[in-house]
Structure 1
Amino acid sequence: MSTRAGIVVTGTEVLSGWIADRNGPWVSQRLLELGVDVAHLTVCGDRPDDLRAQLDFLSTQGVDLIVTTGGLGPTADDLTVATVAEFTSRPLARDPEMAHTIESVIRSWRRYSTVDELPSSTIAAIEKQALIPQGAEAIPPTGTAPGVAVPAGEARPAVLVLPGPPRELQSMWPTALTTDTVTTALRDRVPATLETLRAYGLSEPDLAASLVDAETTVAGFHALEVTTCMRGGELEISTQFAANDASAYDALASFLLERHSDRIYSTDGRAVDDLLIERLADRTIVTAESCTGGLVAARLTDRPGSSAYMLGGVVSYSNDVKTGAIGVPADMIAEHGAVSEEVAVAMADGVAARLHADVAVSTTGIAGPGGAVPGKPVGTVCIGVAVAGRDTFAVTRQFPGDRQQVRELTVAAALHLVVDTLGFD
């Protein structure tokens, strides 16, 4: 039986929606990679009673490990360690070595000398963060806040307390995994494999119908844990399974490929960005964007080393910029409209010529909520692709949703169109 874990993300700023939770999904993914079954992921505010309620709940759910994130700073609302100490019935005690470590970090950051008297507020902050539940393992800080690993007790799971800033948490994670507390909690886990298929243009209802058929067709289907997620027009099909159920997964993957070979574009988890880079080979690419406002260029430059293939782009939002910056004829815009395949082709050709690139992609559309004209409702988008040595072409798509969704769907469509085009080499 797999080890089970629960995650509690603390922070009123996350609960209120002021910032997005980056820690919960990251920790969940790391645990899944270790073969740990993540049973619950919860968010609560910076209130001891609410955190205690989450800890109490998870302790009744048969989890072997609880991971908390946040609430480890020097301020009054950073009460995670104290709450966990109470939950585990372990009194807090000053850790002299940890106090010295935190002081050294603060001195190095603020350029205090070793003999400078620290402000009383700083000393108080150090003392607060150096309080560790008795018998727990202190994890050296990657900021100023140490982590804490509290061993399991009778009828109570182990608790791993990590900092809130994502950089600090992620830096601390490898060390946290080596603590006796965590290794003991994870020692009985059953190694699991996570495989991902990616599809474009496949709807969730169509996939659901195929999975219903697979239940009675694929031997061992019920040993597989299949989850699906639709994002930006792409459908991610993730399957987790034990090593001895690999044949069942292979059968399921073959079944889905037979049903949807024209939609499934990746069988090894690679994203469309990976395929685009691979198919570009030694060629360069540029963008000309209107409705997407630079989002395609941002996607192309997300990865380190993107300067090897991405030369640049032009956000030609206004007609004047389309004409002046990338040479789209003004009379073409007047005749066909800015949202037209003719203009999309001219944008792609123009930016490729101006920036001396081998490949260019353009977008022009009506993202809404206004801007619709007869025959071109909100969501109408034209995408152009130019490849050196070939005829430039454009396609028209109609996307649903609000402004943000139309733009996201346009970016995905543009990348897939380039990948498909280059796939004909």
Structure 2
Amino acid sequence: MRAHLLTIGDELLSGDVVDRNKAWLGRRCRALGVEVVRATTVRDRQAEIVAALHSAAADGSQICLISGGLGPTTDDLTAASVAAAAGVGLARNRELADRLEAFFAARGRALVEANLKQADLPEGATVLDNPIGTAAGFAVELAYPPGGPRGCWLFSMPGVPRELHQMMREQVEPRLRERFELQPIPRRVYRALGSGESSVQENVRAVLAAARERSPGLANMFVHYRAHYPEVQLILEATPGDDGSAATEAELEQLDGPLREAIGPALYSCGSETELAELVVQRLIERGLTIATAESCTGGGVGQAITAIPGSSATFVGGVISYSNAVKIAQLGVPADILELHGAVSEPVARAMAEGARARLGSDIGVSTTGVAGPGGGSPDKPVGTVDVAVATAIGTTYKRLRLFGKRDTIREATTQWALKLVFDQFAAHDEPVYEWRLQAGQKPGPS
């Protein structure tokens, strides 16, 4: 199944609104087994919308998912444009009109003619119910060429994200499953942190080349590399080739072992799309362990990433944002002489912060960040992007110095990811029974 995504609105092209609907629809299509072959954004101009609809039908897409332009104002032109593209007129849907009248009456508001515009749909359209908004969606089959045998189903939905999401799940997807034989395309995602995009490609080259020799399906396997600093993703998709053959899910899964060995310790997720923070929280909960943070340059970013995960209250104790040296000393117990001798951005301070968070907040694990996020504050020996991260457990304290690049936000985000990765690595490096990790009553972890 092939799909064309069409988002409508001047605000999307001017940058006033970020077009997240397109990305969300793309992910839903992938989960359904629908291949998105093109995505288009056009202005609120009827001629441009009609041309985009004809283009969607012409490129062989069986489905066109449309977002936006269903409001009551003069710049909302989607219904009229779809009608024009299909060569039909607009007809007022009495049920929708009655619903609009009841909606405004219940709120003590006057219904004007412009509001009733939302009840005018292309003739023959199927209504897509919107229980949380006034803009109903609709579905129309667009023949291409006009009057020809080939059709593209247009599903028009509101641009308001929460309305779009609910309509797509409850109205569009069930219709797609009824009309088409959908089969999700098997895919495996490998996520690495600490190895560049080109390095990952070079490391897995031989594994993938050997795999392509095993079967016609694996020969057609599509390989994506996606870099989102500091992470790199390798994505394998069982996309059918011209001969129709595609790899099975089992064939892709058999590559996990060889790829894990090829990518090495940078790999933290094999075959899954789960985010690093969620993996960390899962492992902490599985082992009954708690964690505390001591953050300087990240300003609470590590704690925020952890607590964004549902269920994290079972494992996250708390954190200290120790931006100043005075707070590092008073709240985390970092020795003043270490700060004076080595500076706040240093291995001894990072270790002392992690150990102080673990001891003073009473957690099993303490993680710390301290660094120069920029744009100022750097020096020849500690330039902007110099960051120290440490993780303290009952087994000992692990430390890593990072040399990061980019703007301030990029450095802070990368530091947060690295801190989580250093925590995650503890589970791979130390598989001891849980009790060896736990902070015993009265225990004060010392530096390693």
TM-score by shorter chain over 0.5: yes
Deviations 1:252-280 (A, max 9, x none): 44442342243322223133223212321
**What residue in structure 2 maps to residue 237 of structure 1?**
234
Deviations 1:38-75 (A, max 9, x none): 10122233333333332232222111111111122222
Q: Which amino acid aligns with 1:144?
A: T
**What residue in structure 2 maps to residue 315 of structure 1?**
321
Does 2:167 match 1:172? yes
Does 2:139 match 1:161? no
Does 2:343 match 1:353? no
Instruction: Give runs of aligned pairs for residues 19-30 of structure 1, distance below 5 A.
Output: 19-30=17-28
Unaligned runs of 5+ in 2: 146-150, 240-244, 432-448
Task: Go from structure 1 to structure 2 and tell me whether the alpha carbon gap of 1:215 and 1:267 turns closer, same or farther (over 3 Å shift).
Answer: closer
Q: Which amino acid aligns with 2:247?
A: D
Task: Go from structure 1 to structure 2 and tell me whether the alpha carbon gap of 1:124 and 1:289 turns closer, same or farther (over 3 Å shift).
Answer: farther
Task: Go from structure 1 to structure 2 and tell me whether the alpha carbon gap of 1:49 and 1:254 turns closer, same or farther (over 3 Å shift).
Answer: farther
Mean CA deviation greater in 145-154 or 50-59: 50-59
**Cα contact 2:374–2:384 (8 A) shared by 1:** yes
Task: Go from structure 1 to structure 2 and tell me whether the alpha carbon gap of 1:317 and 1:22 turns closer, same or farther (over 3 Å shift).
Answer: same
Q: Distance in 2 between matches of 1:318 and 1:46?
A: 51
Partner SS state of residue 390, structure 1: coil
Deviations 1:179-214 (A, max 9, x none): 65x457x51545422322222223221333356545
**Cα contact 2:191–2:231 (8 A) shared by 1:** yes
> So what's the TM-score if we normalise by structure 2?
0.84
**Cα contact 2:155–2:172 (8 A) shared by 1:** no
**Cα drift, residue 135 of structure 1:** 0.6
Q: Distance in 2 between matches of 1:91 and 1:26?
A: 31
Mean CA deviation greater in 197-206 or 24-33: 197-206
Mean CA deviation greater in 374-383 or 68-77: 68-77
**Cα drift, residue 97 of structure 1:** 0.7
Mean CA deviation greater in 283-292 or 149-158: 149-158
**Cα contact 2:365–2:392 (8 A) shared by 1:** yes
Q: Distance in 2 between matches of 1:397 and 1:6?
A: 42
**What residue in structure 1 maps to residue 137 of structure 2?**
147
Instruction: Give runs of aligned pairs for residues 275-354 of structure 1, distance below 5 A.
Output: 275-280=279-284, 281-354=287-360
From 121, 127, 133, the equivalent of 2:122 is: 133
**What residue in structure 2 maps to residue 199 of structure 1?**
192
**What residue in structure 2 maps to residue 263 of structure 1?**
266
Does 2:1 match 1:8? no
**Cα drift, residue 215 of structure 1:** 5.7
Q: Which amino acid aligns with 1:130?
A: A
C-alpha RMSD over aligned residues: 2.4
Q: Which amino acid aligns with 1:167?
A: R
> So what's the TM-score if we normalise by structure 1?
0.89
**What residue in structure 1 maps to residue 80 of structure 2?**
82
**What residue in structure 1 maps to residue 46 of structure 2?**
48
Percent identical residues: 38
Task: Go from structure 1 to structure 2 and tell me whether the alpha carbon gap of 1:336 and 1:70 turns closer, same or farther (over 3 Å shift).
Answer: same
**Cα contact 1:102–1:145 (8 A) shared by 2:** no
**What residue in structure 2 maps to residue 115 of structure 1?**
none
Q: Which amino acid aligns with 2:139?
A: A
Partner SS state of residue 278, structure 1: helix
User: How many residues matched?
Assistant: 411
Does 2:202 match 1:209? yes
Q: Distance in 2 between matches of 1:106 and 1:201?
A: 56
From 350, 355, 366, the equivalent of 2:372 is: 366
**Cα contact 1:149–1:179 (8 A) shared by 2:** no
